[in-house]
Amino acid sequence: MAHIALIGAGMVGRAMALDLARRHEVLALDASRKGLDRLEAEAARDGSRPISTRVVDVTDESALAAAVQGRDLFVAAVPGFLGFRTLRALLEQGAPVVDISFFPESALDLDDLARARGVPAAVDVGVAPGLASMILGHHDRAWSVTEFECLVGGLPEQPVGPWHYKAPFSPVDVVEEYLRPARLMENGRTVVRPALSDPELIDFPGVGTLEAFNTDGLRSILSTMDHIPNMREKTLRWPGHREMALSLREAGLLSEEPIAGVDADGRPIWITPREVTSRLLFKQWALDPGEREFTAMRVTVRGTDRQSGAPREAVYQLLDHTDPVSGTSSMARTTGYTCTAVAELILAGMISEPGVHPGERLGGLAGVLDSVLAHLAERGVSVSVTAGAA
């Protein structure tokens, strides 16, 4: 049994804490007492080992260091804007880290720190990035990969207007996806396109017709896998949502240019349109109690076998729904259980080399992808694989 500190008790963090607590002693940290109380109540209903909780502001690095001292492993699940600094602060404590925070900075910039502290840091180990990039790394071991495509999205089962969307995770991070330019690899060169560009309709079995568009999801594989000539990721949404998001952006409602306003007491303040819009969307995009959602992902890898020279193709397809018994969202299940799978591999010594390891590097290690897929299957998250000649 390991002693684990989990930082961030949001939707995904709670799912990870409950899963890890079945085998380990878990301390959950969060800035919100409300979120921690909910976790404690869920742990009591779930029947897992009791989870200790503590309110900690992760921006107070001395308080964070004191709270996590003596733990065997850190699991980070904080919002993207806090992710990089939190990862750096945790690495300074000299214990392994597993991180799902979707931050804009490059986690590879902390590789020297992780090596100096002598610990592994597994980063971007959710569903995408995470499982998708592990799949790529797995095939890159034996193939000369020429093409990688990931189509992924978390959606409500019923696409109610006007947005045709609910956010299974933080709307702030969703808005960031719609603003950050998308980087793709085309014919061996990195190209940049606007987020929400190149829309196309996709038929996804078990769901129907979805719309796919460019977002900046390739992240570290643009540098770690730059020998692969063609790579792209697209976000999946119900048709109609993209036009609404594009209208927000084009109207300037996602701008970060401050505008003057007044607070409740009439005092002048400065606020950005993006802050106002995000606060409004937080309520409109929240899943209603009992509302079901699903996560859909299709990963396609093509290339040639290095030994035989034969063309190869593998298609991985995931479709997961809200757990009807526990109510755990599919996004929490697919993201969180991928992360807990990697945490278990670190604790077992299967991932031990010091340094920062994104999913594609983990997938390149023998046995990692199979172990992660087995871990997911044990929790009811199934991934179908179709492989053969391209």
What is 302-316 written as a DSSP string? EEEETTT--EEEEEE
Asked whether the predicted pLDDT for residue 10 surpasses 80, the reply is yes
Q: Is 300 helix (H, G, I), strand (E, B) or coil?
A: strand
CB 53 within 8 A of CB 27: yes
Q: Is 206 helix (H, G, I), strand (E, B) or coil?
A: coil
**For 330-355, what is each residue's pLDDT tens digit?**
999 999 999 999 999 999 999 999 99
Of 123, 158, 174, the one marking the end of a domain is 123
The pTM (predicted TM-score) of the whole model is 0.93
Query: From CA 370, how far away is CA 341, in angstroms rounded?
Result: 11
Give the distance from CA 269 to its chain's centroid.
Answer: 34
Instruction: Examine the domain organization and report whether 92 and 175 are in the same domain.
Output: no
Instruction: Examine the domain organization and report whether 314 and 205 are in the same domain.
Output: yes
Q: For the chain, what percent of residues have pLDDT higher than 90? A: 81
| Res 275: pLDDT | 87
Return mean pLDDT, the chain: 93
Asked whether the predicted pLDDT for residue 389 surpasses 70, the reply is no
What is 255-275 written as a DSSP string? ----EEEE-TTS-EEEE-HHH
Of 101, 123, 145, the one marking the end of a domain is 123
Asked whether the predicted pLDDT for residue 169 surpasses 70, the reply is no
Where residue 226 sits, what CATH number does that domain have?
A: 3.30.360.10
Instruction: Examine the domain organization and report whether 41 and 172 are in the same domain.
Output: no
**For 298-323, what is each residue's pLDDT tens digit?**
999 999 999 999 999 999 999 999 99
Is residue 335 in some structural domain? no
Domain that holds residue 211: 131-249+283-321
> Residue 170: pLDDT band by 50, 70, 90 thresholds?
low
For residue 39 the two structure tokens come to 């976790």
Is residue 214 in some structural domain? yes
| Res 270: pLDDT | 85
Is residue 148 in some structural domain? yes
Query: From CA 257, how far away is CA 43, in angstroms rounded?
Result: 43
Is residue 47 in some structural domain? yes
**For 283-300, what is each residue's pLDDT tens digit?**
888 888 889 999 999 999
Of 89, 123, 157, the one marking the end of a domain is 123
